[in-house]
Amino acid sequence: MSAPPDAREGAWSERAWHGAALAFAAAALLLRLWRIGTQPLWFDEALTAHIAYGPDGLDYVHNTPPLYHWLTRLWSGVFGVGAAGLRSFSAVAGAAFVWSTFHTARFVFGNRAAVAAALLVLASPLHLYYSQEARAYALLLCELMLALWLLWRLVARLDVRTWLLLVLASTAALHTHYLAAIPLAIAFAVLGRSAPAAARWRTARWVAAAGAAAVLLLLPWLLWWSRHTPFAASDMRWLELLWAGLSGPGAIATSFELFLLGGQAERTPLFLKQFSSLPFPAALRIAALVAMGAVAALGLLRRSGPSPQRRAALACATLCLGPLLVLWLVSLVRPVYGPGRYDLIAYPGFVLLLGQAIAAATAAPGRVCRWLAWSAVAALALAVVGKDWRYFTAPAGPDPNRAVAQQLAARVPSGDTVILCGSVGLPVIVHLYDDGYVWAHGRCRSARSGVEFGCRLLPPALAAAPAAVSRYLQALEDGSLVADLAQIVQDVPASTSGIWLVLGQELLGAGLAPAMQQMGRDLLRVLDRAGYELVDADRQLGVAQFRRR
């Protein structure tokens, strides 16, 4: 089992090392707040905003546990519901992750590894991204790292206070994301058996009791969720499409590259805002990956024979590879592997393992080994800083949904009905909030102007779960979208003189598949047959205005 940091690694006092941890956290916070509101909110962030904005927003927490959304709703009441305000909560959680990484690495491996791991996370492109996104992942990573730190402390010394804090951190992680159960189960199993032989059985009982307590505290939410949520298994069909495009075991290699460098154009499996279109020199990318492998190899060679730190390094390797292997194996039956997102449950283990490897490699006794290690670290630093610079200087992406909302807020009169297709619906509704409109019970109303109009989602199944875009994709594939629109139009009050149809991106633009082009024409034909004529259209935004004949 690992021991507290060796005093010989530095002459600083404990207070100085705690100050260093706070300094790393402060630097991380400043870096994560830089240009935090530049990029527009994308679809998943729009769900967060909708939950934070709407009077009934918490009713739409359906496919994740509620803790992040509860906290964000409170946070937005103080810091606002703009992009920067919503994302600033993740920035604080990201800074706390840097702080907890420093302390965890220091407790397990010593001062040198603590500095290496903290620097690694401080500038990590992927962690910067999630610290600037209004989603739960920055909070989840912080909770997982805190749980690891507390678990190691509990194994080193059994005491009630550490046990209670471990239960709290584990419970918080489980209430933030269901997949937290995978790394927590692995950590409890691996570290719970790592105590000295004389205390192993007693330690295992304490650890098992902490895990059982965290699970029991999750059960009330699971019971409520199973009875009230509109979530369906088919709502995660996008994961099946993502998994179909991955190269099997190559998904794990993709995860490691994303952990180190973040995404870039043509090498990002799923949408990560500016990462999805970010150019990056191939030579720098390859050099960074080779350098990571070199540092890992040199770090392993640095420590030979059994030792507490070597066993701790093996535990970190298990915490890194274990969750990825579990995700990969489960995906053979039911796809759950999302490189760059769901694989983040392995990120704490990756950070601790690589931080220890850097510390061990750069402290090698041989001059040649140290020179090679520092050269590899320099290559890593160059690539990471280069990616960070491109990340922060990337131009803000277009936000057509904001333009659609502005047009609707300016032009739609009271009594008309707006029909929003698929992935357009939720972001447009969120931007309508910016203009003073509140969406509830299928209607949008502005307290400022008194304007109120119908606001329906297509397909209607999205009304209960606006983020379940898989329902829209399914309706596109089976053609039921046309019948759904016909039903909505039939339900429109007879007094409605105008209908505004906002098409999704799948039905806009050049180069669409013939089936999608036909689908768009069929949707327009539904309104024509219902007695509405097209009077205006913005083809770029996909907004079509109809009036009753």
The 10s digit of each residue's pLDDT in 464-501 is 888 888 888 888 888 899 999 999 999 998 888 899 99
Q: Which residue has the higher pLDDT, 92 or 308?
A: 92
The angle subtended at Cα 489 by Cα 488 and Cα 493, nearest 5°, is: 100
Q: For residue 396, give the amino acid letter.
A: A
Q: Point out the least confidently predicted range of 86-95, 230-239, 397-406.
A: 230-239
Model confidence pLDDT, tens digit, residues 250-273: 899 999 999 999 999 999 999 999
CA atoms in the 13 A half-sphere facing the CB of 195: 21
Q: Indicate whether 265 belongs to any domain.
A: yes
390 and 277 both lie in a single domain = yes
**Residue 308 pLDDT level (bands cut at 50, 70, 90):** confident
**Cα–Cα dist 177/181, whole Å:** 8
Question: Which neighbouring-strand residues pair with 538?
Answer: 543
Q: For residue 465, give the amino acid letter.
A: A
Burial annotation 307-340 (CB, 10 A radius, 16+ → b, else e)? eebbebbebbbbbbbbbbebbbeebeeebbbbbb
pLDDT at 427: 93
390 and 413 both lie in a single domain = no
Instruction: Provide Rg for the chain, Cα atoms.
Output: 26
448 and 406 both lie in a single domain = yes
Q: Indicate whether 125 belongs to any domain.
A: no
Q: Indicate whether 143 belongs to any domain.
A: no
Please name the residue that has the structure tokens 């949904």. 401
pLDDT at 358: 96
384 and 409 both lie in a single domain = no
488 and 422 both lie in a single domain = yes
pLDDT at 305: 46
Give me the percent of the chain exceeding a pLDDT of 70: 96
pLDDT at 303: 58
**Cα–Cα dist 124/258, whole Å:** 10
Q: For residue 468, give the amino acid letter.
A: A
CB neighbours of 367 closer than 8 A, spacing ≥ 6? none
**Residue 10 pLDDT level (bands cut at 50, 70, 90):** very low
Give first-to-last CA distance, the chain, whole Å: 79
What's the whole-number average pLDDT of the chain? 91
Q: Point out the least confidently predicted range of 395-399, 438-442, 511-515.
A: 511-515
Q: Indicate whether 251 belongs to any domain.
A: yes
pLDDT at 170: 98
437 and 454 both lie in a single domain = yes
pLDDT at 11: 54
CATH code at position 513: 3.40.50
371 and 251 both lie in a single domain = yes
pLDDT at 465: 85
Q: Indicate whether 349 belongs to any domain.
A: yes
Q: Which residue has the higher pLDDT, 181 or 234?
A: 181
436 and 377 both lie in a single domain = no
- Residue 161, Cβ neighbours under 10 Å: how many? 10
Range of the domain at 519: 400-548
359 and 405 both lie in a single domain = no
Counted domains in the chain: 2
pLDDT at 236: 82
Model confidence pLDDT, tens digit, residues 73-105: 999 999 988 899 999 999 999 999 999 999 999
Q: Indicate whether 340 belongs to any domain.
A: yes
Give me the percent of the chain exceeding a pLDDT of 90: 69
Given a cut of 90, whether residue 204 has pLDDT beyond it is yes
Model confidence pLDDT, tens digit, residues 504-547: 777 776 556 677 778 888 898 999 999 999 999 888 888 999 99
**Domain-terminating residue out of 346, 373, 397:** 397
Instruction: List phi, psi (to 5°) of 212.
Output: -65, -40
pLDDT at 519: 85
Q: Indicate whether 539 belongs to any domain.
A: yes
315 and 326 both lie in a single domain = yes
Average pLDDT over residues 286-312: 82
Q: Residue 196: is it exposed, middle or buried by C-beta count within 10 angstroms (0-12/13-18/19+)? A: exposed
Model confidence pLDDT, tens digit, residues 403-429: 999 999 999 999 999 999 988 999 999
Given a cut of 70, whether residue 240 has pLDDT beyond it is yes
319 and 267 both lie in a single domain = yes
Given a cut of 50, whether residue 3 has pLDDT beyond it is no
pLDDT at 247: 66
pLDDT at 493: 87
Q: Which pairs with CB-CB distance under 8 Å and at least 24 residues apart come from 232-239? A: 232/468, 234/470, 234/471, 234/474, 235/62, 235/63, 235/465, 235/468, 235/470, 235/471, 236/63, 236/336, 236/470, 237/470, 237/473, 237/474, 238/469, 238/470, 238/473, 239/335, 239/336, 239/337, 239/338
Given a cut of 90, whether residue 32 has pLDDT beyond it is yes
**Cα–Cα dist 208/214, whole Å:** 10
Q: Indicate whether 524 belongs to any domain.
A: yes
**Domain-terminating residue out of 382, 397, 412:** 397
Average pLDDT over residues 376-388: 97
**Cα–Cα dist 549/539, whole Å:** 22
**Domain-terminating residue out of 381, 397, 413:** 397
Given a cut of 80, whether residue 231 has pLDDT beyond it is no
526 and 424 both lie in a single domain = yes
